[in-house]
Amino acid sequence: MFAKKRSTVHEVRGHTARRGGGGVTRNDIGCGIVGCSLCASAVCGERGPCVVPTSLIIIPDTNVVLHNMNALEDAQIQNIVFLSTVVSEVQNRNKGIYARLQRLLGEERKQCYVFSNDRHEQTHCMVEREETPNDYNDRCIRVAARWYGRHVSLAFPASPPSVALISHDKLLRQAFVTATEEVATPNLSCVTLREFVEKAISTQSDLLEKIQYEQPAGMKESSKVGALFQQHVAGGALLMGINNGTYLRGKLRVSETNCFFGEIRGQWEGHNFSRVLLPGRSNLNRAIHGDIVAVELLPVSSWRGPKDAKPLDENATEAAAVAGGYMPVGRVVGITSMERRPFCGSIDVEELTRLTASEGKISGAVSVLFQPKDNRIPRIRISTRDLEYLKDKRLSVVIDDWPEYNSFPVGHYVEVLGTIGDKDTEAKVILLENDVPHYDFSEAVYDCLPKGQWSVSKDELERRLDLRDLCVVSVDPLGCRDIDDALHCRVVNENHLEVGVHIADVTHFLHENTAMDEEAAKRSTSVYLVDRRINMLPQLLTENLCSIVSNEDRYAFSILWEFDEEYNVVRDYFGKNGDSLPCGTLLW
């Protein structure tokens, strides 16, 4: 075990902070509950206490936030405590969901609070030996939830508020229940989000359709029929098989015309091939495009050869098959990693036709197939009570599970994007399917921008080459607002030509390791659709301060060449090339 070290104690505004092996912990972090007597002098963030003790307090785990943000954003769900462990993990795993979470935390109408469990001295956890990051995060969440249950019991002894940890993870719930029974905390429970909505809101709430299914009851084929797929190899055995070469690991690439035909590529020790084919539903074994999978090679006799090639003999060797142009064929035996985003699409047309023909006007809960826009993704079975409304809509759907006795994965929709064929709806689908960040910039990014009326500084004027007397022309089309490129040409030294290429000096405003720099790195580029543009940088820069418009002073990087009569370069200048020359140019 880790050796205990003597901790260093610091005074923080009259409270105590301790520095341990995992960083500084404090005892003055508040619970965020209104009227808590134990946290009267504690720090509760900018909003202060906003969770009410008269209603059930819920603490969602990471996967609940990642897969059910649409439900958490609903006004019917209040009194949410987000743990800092969860917030950090969401930020690392899905930037889009993290941005929505930040907006949610800023809404006054929502009773949401972020509890810094990783900095509170009673909830901070050290990583144990051989503990995986996932197990560590789960333990941090359980510890913080149990602390909340005990804390509110002490703060409100007459009528302790109920606290519920919301999780769809069976192992986490089992570990939580076992630990809770040991310490006897009657006001503390661990339930799924569906159970919470049915108990606290309504069993008929439309929120139920937008919630991840823990066990998709009523949506799966009967297990009595038998398994359609082979079970995946257990985690420990799978890793051992990969390490000893029994299984080949790679990223699954699926055909754009057939979602049940894929391959993996790589270089594997002991094998003289770089591709393994995975043809058919059974060989893909519930893996989808983008998953990191472990593959077992099928016998050489089942490998695929060139056109008109004879089938291989059962005794054929791998080397002979590869030399003859045969392609290895394998079967997925496990999935080591899956980063499955929400998929855009609509209710399957054939499914709608079938249901309408058999039942006429559809009412009540019904199970339907969802067709993703990405042809590499198989259809997904979802359940809805509002098919009449959803049948002509674009939806965003996440996969919850794919049991071995289901022909298709099961999931739930998280967002209605709009009506099929609508211009704004289809544009949103394009952005989501191509993972283009199109949310608004954060306040931290806007804080990086110049404040007030901007003008050229005296220091920059002295350091830069002043080209404001030149006739500089833009190469951007008429009406363009982000003019970042410009040219000039003039006669110098009697019969020489000077040609200049200028580009807006964005780096004067965009500094390294700032919030704006990090956001620009995520976006990488501005994205242009037919009727809109998704900016890489805030509009103040792209359309104003870094746009080389007429009659305005602007900073630029410039390259100048002087050509003689034979168009040989006799002199050049680069706007940023050392202390001996100006570090940039100034245009007007």
Q: How far apart are CA 76 and CA 138, in angstroms?
A: 27
Report pLDDT for 16.
45
Distance CA 102, CA 97 (A): 9
Q: For residue 192, give the amino acid letter.
A: T
pLDDT score recorded for residue 4:
35
Which DSSP string corresponds to 45-94? TTT---B-TTS-EEEE-HHHHHH-HHHHTSTT---EEEEHHHHHHHHHH-
Question: What's the confidence (pLDDT) of residue 421?
Answer: 95
∠ CA 567-573-579, nearest 5°, is 160
List per-residue pLDDT tens for the chain, 588 residues long.
233 333 333 343 444 444 444 557 788 889 999 999 898 888 787 778 889 999 999 999 998 998 888 889 888 899 999 999 999 998 887 777 888 898 888 888 889 999 999 999 899 999 888 888 888 988 999 999 999 999 999 999 989 999 999 998 887 777 777 765 555 678 888 989 988 988 888 767 777 777 776 554 444 444 555 688 999 998 889 999 999 999 999 999 999 999 999 999 999 999 999 999 999 999 999 999 999 999 999 999 889 988 877 777 778 888 888 888 899 999 999 999 887 888 999 999 887 887 777 666 666 778 899 999 999 999 999 988 888 889 899 999 988 889 888 899 998 888 899 999 999 999 999 999 998 988 888 888 999 999 888 888 888 888 888 888 888 888 888 878 888 888 999 999 989 999 999 998 898 899 999 999 999 998 999 998 988 889 999 999 988 888 888 888 888 889 999 999 999 999 998 875 322 233 455 655
Close Cβ partners of 495 (under 8 Å, ≥ 6 residues apart): 565
User: What is the residue-wise DSSP string for 210-228?
Assistant: GS--SS-TTSS--GGG--S
How far CA 318 is from CA of 138, 279, 535, in Å, comes to 44, 19, 52
Sorted by sequence, the CB contacts under 8 Å of residue 519 that are 6+ apart come out as 441, 442, 445
From CA 416, how far away is CA 261, in angstroms rounded?
30
* Structural domains in the chain, sorted by start: 57-209 (3.40.50.1010), 235-337 (2.40.50.690), 342-434 (2.40.50.700), 453-509+523-587 (no CATH)
**How much is the pLDDT for 164?**
93
In this predicted structure, what is the pLDDT of residue 586?
60
Secondary structure class of 577 (helix, strand, coil)? coil
Rounded distance between C-alpha atoms, residue 413 and residue 159, angstroms:
38
Nearest-angstrom CA–CA distance, 273 and 328: 8
**Residue 51's CB: how many other CB atoms inside 10 A?**
24
**Two structure tokens written together for 544:** 């104003």
User: Hey, which residues does 413 pair with through a beta bridge?
Assistant: 397
- Burial of 245 (C-beta count, 10 Å sphere; 0-12/13-18/19+): exposed
Q: In 360-505, which ranges are continuous DSSP H helix?
A: 387-390, 423-433, 443-446, 458-463
| Model pLDDT, residue 21 | 44
pLDDT for the residue 177: 72
Query: In the 8-state DSSP scheme, what is residue 543?
Result: I
Element (H, E) at 384: strand 380-384
Task: Give the H or E element holding residue 389.
Answer: helix 387-390
The residue assigned the tokens 């009540």 is 364
Write down the pLDDT at residue 369: 93
Q: How far apart are CA 193 and CA 218, in angstroms?
A: 18
User: What DSSP designation does 234 have?
Assistant: P
| Encoded tokens for 178 | 């076992």
Q: What is residue 360's predicted lDDT score, i.e. its pLDDT?
A: 60
Contact 276, 303 (CB under 8 A): no
Tokens of 487: 């040219």
pTM listed for this prediction: 0.69
Q: Which long-range contacts (CB under 8 A, 24 or more apart) does 36-40 make?
A: 36/151, 36/152, 36/155, 36/156, 37/155, 38/151, 38/154, 38/155, 39/155
